[in-house]
Structure 1
């Protein structure tokens, strides 16, 4: 009797194992009538045992009588079903573990790809300036600053060159004027010297003639 009660408890506990299959069939169908312990779902086999068993009442309590051979067969089927379910569960766990490992690897690859893309974008938006990577905006700012400074220095150079050229022209003009004045002064001095020499020679000649 205890084994029967134990069987009923186990059967009820695993009743939900095949609930999905049992919902596909109605009590009015004839499939459960032809189901035996060699085929069918656990629930169908359970219903088969109930129909095959007898029953009696004692002290107001109804008892079900089931053959030991069929009960052992049913228990073996339940154990086989549980074994298959455990194998399926283990396979699913292994598949989940493999998928988790693969997902972690893909996440790692995605992270590396994101870092590489970030580096490429930074390199794309940057330029090397004397070995230092700077942004294109900063690079353009530095280049334009250098150009403006060079342009400013060029303007200063042009100004100084023109000023120096102007002073040089003035100096040359003043030197030419000075040379002209010196030449005129030299020519006049030479003329005076020649005039004085002639006068002196004339006086010498006069004195010689008187003697």
Structure 2
């Protein structure tokens, strides 16, 4: 009889442990919502002394559910913190990229302005104005060159004409000098003849 009681008690303990292990295994599976559903299914219906009905939940299941809920909340908090940190990091990277983009844009604008402008006498001017000024200077220099060439040719022609006139004057002078010399020689001969005549008569 005593052994029968021990046998029944052993079966009850094994059944209780198996049931408890099955409940623990089930409550450890699935999402929090699934675990709450499991607890609700496993709750016992009881009636109070005043006839009102209420649900009873095993303390071990409630403690396990509470621990799972806290773990889930802590995991969500950590995930939220990591997400906020990631968002902050990405926002900083975006701001850095925007700053770099603005710097690059400014550098590009300055480079384009420098490329489209030319330094002339220490002042920046556009390529169009630079080309206009340079071609104006080239045209002015070309006009001055043509003017000097014209003046040179004109002066050269005048010089040639003057040289020709001088040659003619020199020829006339030489002719006149020869004529004058011949006259002088003729007058001297006549004078010498007269002197000789005077000597002969006396």
TM-score interval, smaller chain: 0.7 to 0.9
Partners of 1:127 and 1:134 within 8 A in 2: yes
Partners of 1:54 and 1:64 within 8 A in 2: yes
What is the 5 A alignment of 1:176-187? 176-187=167-178
Which residue of 1 is the match for residue 188 of structure 2? 197
Gaps of 5+ in 2: 1-22
Which residue of 1 is the match for residue 45 of structure 2? 55
Whether 2:38 is the aligned partner of 1:42: answer no
User: How many Å separate the matches in 1 of 2:58 and 2:133?
Assistant: 98
User: How many Å separate the matches in 2 of 1:96 and 1:35?
Assistant: 38
User: How many Å separate the matches in 1 of 2:113 and 2:144?
Assistant: 35
* 1:39 match: secondary structure: coil
Normalising by structure 2, we get a TM-score of 0.75
Q: Which has the higher helix share?
A: 2
Q: CA RMSD in A?
A: 2.7
Aligned to 1:69, which of 60, 63, 66?
60
Which residue of 1 is the match for residue 82 of structure 2? 91
Q: Which has the larger radius of gyration?
A: 2
Which residue of 1 is the match for residue 7 of structure 2? none
Which residue of 1 is the match for residue 109 of structure 2? 118
Gaps of 5+ in 1: 1-32
Aligned to 1:143, which of 134, 140, 160?
134
Whether 2:156 is the aligned partner of 1:156: answer no
- Higher RCO (CA < 8 A, seq sep 6+): 1
User: How many Å separate the matches in 1 of 2:24 and 2:58?
Assistant: 18
Which residue of 1 is the match for residue 69 of structure 2? 78
What count of residue pairs does the alignment treat as equivalent? 179
* 2:67 match: secondary structure: helix
User: How many Å separate the matches in 2 of 1:34 and 1:65?
Assistant: 17
TM-superposition CA deviations, 1:68-125 (whole Å, max 9, x none):
3322322222111101100011011111111111222222222233333333334444
User: How many Å separate the matches in 2 of 1:60 and 1:158?
Assistant: 133
Normalising by structure 1, we get a TM-score of 0.73
